[in-house]
Chains A and B, each alone.
Chain A
Amino acid sequence: MQFEPRILSFLCNWCCYAAADSAGVARFSYPPNNRVIRIMCTGRMDPQFVVEAFYVRADGVFVGG
């Protein structure tokens, strides 16, 4: 079976989350492997979020801001 990574994305409300919305509006297509958590700024990122994500078996963490 092909490796299907599960990626947890933390997206900044003002830029990356907005960009992800725009990708939808433009009907782009990308692999459905990520799950999104919206934060108000990547300044909000706490190291424990990343640790926790890996702890619950995320294969990757994406921080977009």
Chain B
Amino acid sequence: MPRYSAFAVVKNALTGHKGWREQWPDAQPKKEYDVIIVGAGGHGLGAAYYLAREHGITNVAVIDKGWLGGGNTGRNTTIIRSNYLYDESAKLYDHALDLWDGLSQELNYNVMFSRRGVMMLAHNVHDVQSFQRHVHSNRLNGVDNRWLSAEEAKEFCPPLNISREARYPVMGAALQMRAGTARHDAVAWGYARAAAARGVDIIQNCPVIAIRRGPDGAVTGVDTAKGFIGAKKVAVSAAGHTSVVMESAGVRMPLESFPLQALVSEPVKPVFPCVVMSNTVHAYISQSDKGELVIGSGTDQYTSYSQRGGLPLIEHTVAAICEIFPIFNRMRMLRKWGGIVDVTPDRSAIIGKTPVKNLFVNCGWGTGGFKATPGAAHVLAHTVATGEPHALNAPFTLDRFRTGRLIDEAAAAAVAH
């Protein structure tokens, strides 16, 4: 696979751009693989890459029912941060943040990771207290986070409205400078290209119908639209459809799937320097390098697989954005869409073993899986390769819903849902 470089760009520009080749081959399934990963999003493709690079396992297939990166990887608002409250989460997300750092160089693919800072607004006394608690907890864990007054927040993000007359006045903000955004499609493409270069097959448009188990209960492979494909190990990383796939293996999951919506505006010149989240009025916003404002909305109240979501949520979100950033009042929105997110009862992910031998799962990332992509992929690959969880994902078991050892970010974290 030819390397991308400034030299290659110049050379191809001078030769009519005829030298570019496909980034990865569109593979057809072999009869059997050492590992099959169900779901070609960032997490699944990343796991295939780390299996090949760190564990020397290259007889791997990543199978997806649609095109790669077409699920939640291509539907999120690209925010990357690690300011979670609990030790387990902080360590896992900070591990991901460490890996984001060198990712473009490592993959030889520009994922456009930009440390522009994520600022979370506090609008009332409870917000102030809980965010300051977050800041202290994060700093004890070695995770970057600091507290800003309303004036400092305005200085960091000039479009912000800090008027005392606002419906929800800004009383301060928590700022993680290490956090930022990345181009989500490029993450999937970069991992796909790097994995394929090491011999991984990426099989698109091939829905997995069922996971097949042998007489001893262990996994033997998967039934797909392209027939049966044998596998020594199977890892399911199928986001909103994880519980459907897992049920075919006889494993019932503590998951519910909800639509989560986002929308983008028309592209404009650079006007917004960072990412701003407001949990109280429920909106988050950043500006892509292309110039669009990227706005995140909430989950619908009902479970659904429709990838659409309801308009009342969009109305609510846009109203909040206009209140906090009056300069965006006249901005026109271009598109809105939904992705299906799998939510666990404690709002923390599940990465690890299952009751079925040689079946592994990576799911439950809910409304915030993109930021974890390299970290989740890395520890999932470790778990699949060695058969035992990495120290970082050891607490994130499926069994915690039986033992009661939950990681209750639902009640604690700086997440909006």
Do these two chains interact?
no
State the A residues within 8 Å of B (CB): none
State the B residues within 8 Å of A (CB): none
